[in-house]
C-alpha cells in the first residue's frame, strides 16, 4: 500500500465516492473531503442504465447494488394531455440479455451506502466530513486543499468531484456559473399506497407536456413511489415559499391529465433544484488538479446518465493513474481524451431530447409521431452507444495525442 501523500478527492457524491473506491482498491491512499456532516444523508430515486454495471463490476459492488434495486419492466412515455402512450423502451429480461446488464432504479441513499460501505472496508480510504473546500494551492510536487474553517490538507493530486457549482472548476478554469435553462425540479417520495389509482407503479413512467413533465417509479421493493415534477418557470432562480410554489405548480399543470395533477398535488415543495448544464469544454486538468463528473460535464437529465458518466469517469481516471505510475500529466491528458467525446454527446443529445420531450404548438404532433411508430429494437439500437458501455483504456499513451 502506498505511503505517499493521499489522493485528495473534493466531494462525496456518486462520482467522488466511486473515485475513492476505484483508487482505494488499487492500494492508493485516499482522503475524501465533503462539505456535509454526513455523506449521502439525503436523496431521492435515480435511474441507472446497464452501462454503469461495467463499472460496478470493476468496483466490486454490482451484487450489493442489485440487492437494493428495482428492475422496471419498461420505461414508458405518455402524452401529458391525452394520457396516450407515445413510446416505450422495454427493460425486462430481454433487455438484460441484449445489454448484458439490467436497467435499475434505486434510492440514492441506498446507492451511497453501498459505495460508502465498500470504501469503509478499505483501511487506506479516509474521510473528512464537514470540510468545505474553498480552493487549492498547486506546489508542483504536491497540492493543498484549503477549507472554509482554515484547515489545509496536503495531497499528491486533487480530484474535483464537487458537482455542478464546483469551486475547484472555478479556480482551475476561471469560468462562470453553469447554464441555467429556466426550469426547476421538485422531488418527492411517498408510500406506494398513496399512489393515485390508475397509474402503473412498476415502471419508469414519463409524462411529457409543453413546458413541463413528471416522472415516477417505485423504490425499495416497491414500498415507495418516487415522483419528480420538472417545469419551466420565470421564478427558477428565486427562493420562493412553499405556497407560492404550490400556486405555480397548479397553474403550470392545469391542462395536464388528471393522473398527473393528482401526483402534482402530492409534491413536497420544500426544496427545488434549478436545471442546468454546461457547454462541453476541454481543459479538464491543470498541473496536479483534475475534474470529474458534474464538475466538468453536467448535463440535462433527458438520458438519465449524469451519475453514470461520473462513475465511468471515476474508473477510467483511477485506471490511468495506476498505469501512469506518477506521470499525472499523461494520465490526465488521456483521461480527458478518453471521456470528452462520450460525455459531450450525452450533453448535446440531452439538450436535443429536452426539446423533443416538451415540443410545443404545431411542432408537437410532428415531433412525437415518429416515436409512435418506432419498434422496440429500434429504440434499443438508438440507445446502444450508451447502454453497451464504456471500456477504460488498457495502456497509457505518453505521446499526448490520445483522442478517440
Ligand atoms: C432532478 C435530477 C434527476 C437526476 N436523475 C438522474 C438519473 O436518473 N440518472 C443519472 O445517472 N443521473 C441523474 N441525475 C444527475 C446526477 O444526479 C448527477 O449527474 C450526479 O449526481 C453527479 O455526481 P457528482 O458526484 O459529479 O456530483 P454531486 O452528486 O453533485 O456531488 C458533489 C458532492 O460534492 C460536495 N461538495 C460540493 N461543493 C463542495 C465543496 N466546496 N467542498 C466539499 N464538498 C463539496 C457536495 O456536497 C456533494 O456531496 C439527475 C439530476 C437531477 C438534478
Tell me which of 45, 307, 350 to substitute to probe ligand 1's pocket, judged by most ligand atoms within 8 Å of the beta carbon: 307
Tell me which of 8, 11, 39, 305 to substitute to probe ligand 1's pocket, judged by most ligand atoms within 8 Å of the beta carbon: 11
Nearest CA to ligand 1 atom 51: 301
Residue 370 placed within a domain: no
What is the per-residue burial (b if ≥16 Cβ within 10 Å, else e) of 144-155?
bbebeeeeebeb
77: cell is 412515455
Residue 208 placed within a domain: no
399: cell is 505521446
Residue 130: CA count within 13 A, CB half-sphere: 3
Starting at the edge strand that comes first in sequence, how are the strands of the sheet with 224-232 ordered?
85-90, 74-79, 204-209, 212-219, 224-232, 179-191, 273-277
Nearest CA to ligand 1 atom 21: 307
Report the separation in Å between the CA atom of 373 and the middle of ligand 1, taken as the mean of its atom positions. 35
Tell me which of 8, 13, 127, 229 to substitute to probe ligand 1's pocket, judged by most ligand atoms within 8 Å of the beta carbon: 13
Name the phi and psi angles at 149, rounded to 5: -95, 20
Report the separation in Å between the CA atom of 151 and the middle of ligand 1, taken as the mean of its atom positions. 24
Nearest CA to ligand 1 atom 9: 304
Please give the Cα distance from 130 to 304 (Å, whole number).
Answer: 29
Please give the Cα distance from 337 to 404 (Å, whole number).
Answer: 7
Report the separation in Å between the CA atom of 6 and the middle of ligand 1, taken as the mean of its atom positions. 23
For each of the chain's 404 residues, which pLDDT tens digit applies? Answer: 556 899 999 999 999 999 999 999 999 999 999 999 998 777 899 999 999 999 999 999 999 999 999 999 999 999 999 999 999 999 999 999 999 999 999 999 999 999 999 999 999 999 999 999 999 999 999 999 999 999 999 999 999 999 999 999 999 999 889 999 999 999 999 999 999 999 999 999 999 999 999 999 999 999 999 999 999 998 877 777 888 899 999 999 999 999 999 999 999 999 899 999 999 999 999 999 999 999 999 999 999 999 999 999 999 999 999 999 999 999 999 999 999 999 999 999 999 999 999 999 999 999 999 998 899 999 999 999 999 999 999 999 887 655 44
Report the pLDDT value the prediction gives residue 72, as an integer from 0 to 100. 98
Write a three-state SS string for 320-358: HHHHHCCCHHHHHHHHHHHHHHHHHHHHHHHHHHHHHHC
Closest CA to 260 of 207, 303, 329: 207
Place of cell 490520445: 402
Report the pLDDT value the prediction gives residue 115, as an integer from 0 to 100. 98
Count of the separate structural domains present in the chain:
1
Residue 45 placed within a domain: yes
Show Cβ contacts of residue 269 under 8 Å, excluding neighbours closer than 6 positions: 186, 242, 245, 246, 249
Report the pLDDT value the prediction gives residue 2, as an integer from 0 to 100. 53
Report the separation in Å between the CA atom of 307 and the middle of ligand 1, taken as the mean of its atom positions. 7
Closest CA to 308 of 28, 20, 131, 111: 111
Please give the Cα distance from 221 to 14 (Å, whole number).
Answer: 22
Report the separation in Å between the CA atom of 294 and the middle of ligand 1, taken as the mean of its atom positions. 6
Residue 341 placed within a domain: yes
Q: How far is CA 145 from CA 151, 154, 157, 214, 374, in A?
A: 8, 7, 10, 40, 51
Report the separation in Å between the CA atom of 97 and the middle of ligand 1, taken as the mean of its atom positions. 30
Residue 191 placed within a domain: no
Closest CA to 294 of 308, 282, 283: 308
Residue 327 placed within a domain: yes
Q: Which domain, by its residues, includes 290? A: 7-70+104-177+277-354
Nearest CA to ligand 1 atom 2: 301
Residue 81 placed within a domain: no
Cα 213-214-219 angle, rounded to 5 deg: 150
Report the pLDDT value the prediction gives residue 400, as an integer from 0 to 100. 62
User: What are the strands, taking DSSP E only, across 21-73?
Assistant: 30-33, 45-48
Query: How would you class 79 by CB atoms within 10 Å of its CB: exposed for 0-12, middle for 13-18, buried for 19 or more?
Result: middle
Please give the Cα distance from 338 to 275 (Å, whole number).
Answer: 27
Nearest CA to ligand 1 atom 31: 13
Closest CA to 199 of 213, 216, 186, 219: 216
Residue 235 placed within a domain: no
| The ligand 1 atom nearest the CA atom of 295 | 26
Q: How far is CA 167 from CA 313, 339, 399, in A?
A: 19, 21, 31
Chain-centroid distance of CA 171 in Å reads 23
Report the pLDDT value the prediction gives residue 401, as an integer from 0 to 100. 54
Ligand 1, pocket residues at CB < 6 Å:
10-16, 33-36, 46-48, 132-133, 161-164, 167, 185, 228, 273, 293-295, 301, 304-308, 310
pTM tops 0.95: yes
Residue 16: CA count within 13 A, CB half-sphere: 29
Report the separation in Å between the CA atom of 366 and the middle of ligand 1, taken as the mean of its atom positions. 35
Q: What is the CATH number for 339?
A: 3.50.50.60
| The ligand 1 atom nearest the CA atom of 39 | 49
Report the pLDDT value the prediction gives residue 176, as an integer from 0 to 100. 84
Closest CA to 171 of 141, 136, 214, 206: 136
Report the separation in Å between the CA atom of 314 and the middle of ligand 1, taken as the mean of its atom positions. 14
Nearest CA to ligand 1 atom 41: 133
SS3 58: helix
Amino acid at each position: 500500500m502506498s505511503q505517499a501523500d493521499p489522493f485528495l478527492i473534493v466531494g462525496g457524491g456518486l462520482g467522488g465516492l466511486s473515485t475513492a473506491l476505484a483508487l482505494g482498491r488499487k492500494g492508493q491512499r485516499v482522503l475524501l473531503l465533503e462539505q456535509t456532516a454526513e455523506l449521502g444523508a439525503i436523496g431521492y430515486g435515480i435511474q441507472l442504465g446497464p452501462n454503469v454495471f461495467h463499472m460496478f463490476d470493476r468496483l466490486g459492488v454490482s451484487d450489493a447494488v442489485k440487492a437494493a434495486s428495482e428492475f422496471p419492466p419498461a420505461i414508458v412515455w405518455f402524452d401529458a394531455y391525452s394520457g396516450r402512450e407515445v413510446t416505450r423502451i422495454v427493460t425486462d429480461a430481454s433487455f438484460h440479455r441484449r445489454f448484458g446488464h439490467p436497467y435499475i432504479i434505486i434510492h440514492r441513499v441506498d446507492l451511497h451506502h453501498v459505495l460508502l460501505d465498500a470504501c469503509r472496508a478499505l483501511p487506506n480510504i479516509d474521510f473528512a466530513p464537514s470540510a468545505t473546500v474553498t480552493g487549492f494551492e498547486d506546489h508542483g510536487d504536491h497540492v493543498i486543499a484549503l477549507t472554509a474553517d482554515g484547515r489545509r490538507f496536503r495531497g499528491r493530486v486533487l480530484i474535483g468531484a464537487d458537482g455542478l457549482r464546483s469551486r475547484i472548476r472555478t479556480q482551475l478554469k476561471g469560468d462562470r456559473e453553469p447554464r441555467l435553462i429556466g426550469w426547476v425540479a421538485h422531488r418527492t417520495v411517498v408510500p406506494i399506497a398513496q399512489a393515485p389509482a390508475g397509474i402503473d407503479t412498476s415502471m419508469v413512467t414519463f409524462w411529457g407536456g409543453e413546458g413541463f413533465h413528471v416522472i415516477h417509479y417505485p423504490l425499495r421493493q416497491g414500498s415507495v413511489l418516487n415522483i419528480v415534477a420538472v417545469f419551466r418557470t420565470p421564478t427558477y432562480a428565486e427562493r420562493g415559499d412553499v405556497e407560492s410554489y404550490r400556486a405555480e405548480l397548479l397553474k403550470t399543470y392545469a391542462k395536464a391529465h388528471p393522473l398527473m395533477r393528482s401526483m402534482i398535488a402530492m409534491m413536497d415543495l420544500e426544496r427545488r433544484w434549478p436545471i442546468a448544464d454546461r457547454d462541453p469544454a476541454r481543459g479538464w486538468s491543470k498541473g496536479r488538479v483534475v475534474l470529474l463528473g458534474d464538475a466538468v460535464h453536467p448535463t440535462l437529465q433527458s438520458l438519465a446518465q449524469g451519475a453514470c458518466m461520473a462513475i465511468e469517469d471515476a474508473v477510467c481516471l483511477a485506471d490511468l493513474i495506476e498505469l501512469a505510475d506518477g506521470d499525472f500529466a499523461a494520465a490526465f491528458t488521456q483521461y480527458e481524451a478518453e471521456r470528452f467525446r462520450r460525455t459531450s454527446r450525452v450533453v448535446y443529445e440531452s439538450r436535443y431530447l429536452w426539446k423533443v420531450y416538451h415540443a410545443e404548438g404545431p411542432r408537437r404532433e410532428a415531433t412525437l409521431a415518429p416515436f409512435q411508430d418506432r419498434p422496440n429494437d429500434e429504440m434499443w439500437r438508438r440507445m446502444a452507444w450508451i447502454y453497451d458501455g464504456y471500456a477504460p483504456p488498457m495502456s497509457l499513451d505518453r505521446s499526448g495525442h490520445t483522442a478517440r
